[in-house]
Amino acid sequence: MAHIVTITNPVTGQPAQVDQLDHTAQQIDDAVEAARWSHRNLLDNSYWSNPDAIIDQRGGYVVLNGSELYSDPELKNLAGTMIEPALAVVEKTNEYAKVTNDIGISYYAKVSDAVRGYVGAGYGIDRWKLNGVDGGNPVYLVDTHELINNSTSGYAQTVQIIPYDFAKNLVGKTVTMSVLFDEGLSGETFFELQEFNTWTRIAFQSVTAVSQVVSVTFTMPSISNNIQFYVGTRGNCKPIAAKLELGTVQTLAHQENGNWVLNDPPPDKGMELLKCQRYYQIFATQSLRPTDKDDFRPPMRVTPALGTININGKTYYTADANL
Question: Under the rule (CB under 8 A), what is the footprint of other proteins?
Answer: 121-122, 131-133, 196, 199, 302-305, 307, 318, 320-323
Q: Pick the closer one to other proteins by CB: 166 or 199.
A: 199
Closer Cβ to other proteins, 33 or 295, answer by number: 295
Cα 160 to Cα 17: distance, rounded to the nearest angstrom = 54
Provide φ and ψ at 106, rounded to 5°: -100, 145
Burial of 44: CB neighbours in 10 Å, binned 0-12, 13-18, 19+: buried
Q: How far is the CB of 303 from other proteins (least distance, A)?
A: 4
Pick the closer one to other proteins by CB: 91 or 264.
91
Q: To the nearest whole angstrom, how small is the minimum distance from the Cβ of residue 165 to other proteins?
A: 13
Residue 15 CB, shortest distance to other proteins, in Å, is 57
Residue 65 is which amino acid? N
* Residue 40 beta carbon to other proteins: minimum distance, rounded to whole angstroms: 25
* Distance in Å from the first CA to the final CA of the chain: 44
Encode 208-271 in three state secondary structure.
Answer: CCCCCEEEEEEECCCCCCCEEEEEEECCEECEEEEEEEECCCCCCEEEECCEEEECCCCCCHHH
Instruction: Give whichever of 32 and 199 is closer to other proteins, judged by the CB atom.
Output: 199
What is the Cα–Cα distance from 302 to 241, expressed in whole angstroms?
28
Q: If DSSP codes are grouped into helix, strand and coil, which group holds residue 160?
A: strand
Pick 197 or 312: Cβ nearer other proteins = 197
* Shortest distance, position 90 Cβ to other proteins, whole Å: 10
